[in-house]
Amino acid sequence: MLEILQIPVLEDNYVYLLHEPDSGATAAVDPAVAGPVLEALDARGWQLSHVLNTHHHGDHVGGNLELKAATGCTIVGAAVDRRRIPGIDVALKDGDAFTLGAASARMLEVPGHTSGHVAFWFEDDAALFCGDTLFALGCGRLFEGSAEQMWHSLERLRALPAETKVFCAHEYTQANARFAVTIEPGNAALHERFERVEALRREKRPTVPSCLGEELATNPFLRPESPEIRDGLGLRDAPDVEVFAEIRRRKDGFR
């Protein structure tokens, strides 16, 4: 089983260290900066072997080259985004396997936030590293992709096992929860989760990772079939993607 260490960096980013104890292989997922990653590695006596990048944004790849220079690690990313991932060594395509010692992940292309966004799913560890595609109670903005692309990507992720742990890349849950209750105010599970999120953040504790099953029950971006959401948006008979697109539009303007 992987040992997973969550490292908060910048204002609201998370970098993850994945350590496979049998081989000693260790990967950093979306290292925005190198310093805290190197400190965490040193504190645990781990040697960085890989970097896994979900997309090209600077707050996900900013530490790539410094980590590579310091450790000689192998940088892994999407073939479709090869030109935008600094220092990339291994370029994977949709469905390709990646092995970290005895652990194995499948890379999933999930465009929408960016055109080359990917996620890494470690099935045996029930762990999904999804960058900025799926957040706790939210999803990423559509900077390069369409609503259709993002909805297809979210459909892929919501089809994973409900026990999957969602390791997203930002601590956005509190703001996402405040928006979500305006979209589905009658969802009792959402209100209960909102209270837990507020309590965790008052104590400056992380709300991530979440569980995919909980996201399916409370995250409006995964719930376009909800009659309450559809009625509230005036889209009772619309296709799911149209409902999703309207939720995303409203979130973009939410303050």
Query: Which residue in 30, 81, 125, 132 is the catalytic one?
Result: 132
Query: Which residue in 19, 55, 56, 117 is the catalytic one?
Result: 55
Active site residue 117: no
Active site residue 56: no
Which residues are annotated as part of the binding site?
55, 57, 59-60, 113, 132, 170
Query: Which residue in 19, 50, 56, 113 is the catalytic one?
Result: 113
Q: Quickly tell me which residue has 């496979």 as its tokens.
A: 20
Active site residue 19: no
Query: Which residue in 50, 56, 59, 117 is the catalytic one?
Result: 59
Query: Which residue in 19, 50, 60, 117 is the catalytic one?
Result: 60
Active site residue 124: no
148 CB burial (10 A radius; 0-12, 13-18, 19+):
middle
Active site residue 152: no
Which residues are annotated as part of the binding site for Zn(2+)?
55, 57, 59-60, 113, 132, 170
Query: Which residue in 19, 50, 117, 170 is the catalytic one?
Result: 170
* 126 torsion bin: left (phi>0), alpha (psi -120 to 50), beta (else): left
| Torsion angle of the four alpha carbons 84, 48, 65, 59, in this order, in degrees rounded to the nearest 10 | 60
Active site residue 89: no
Active site residue 30: no
Give me the active site residues, please. 55, 57, 59-60, 113, 132, 170
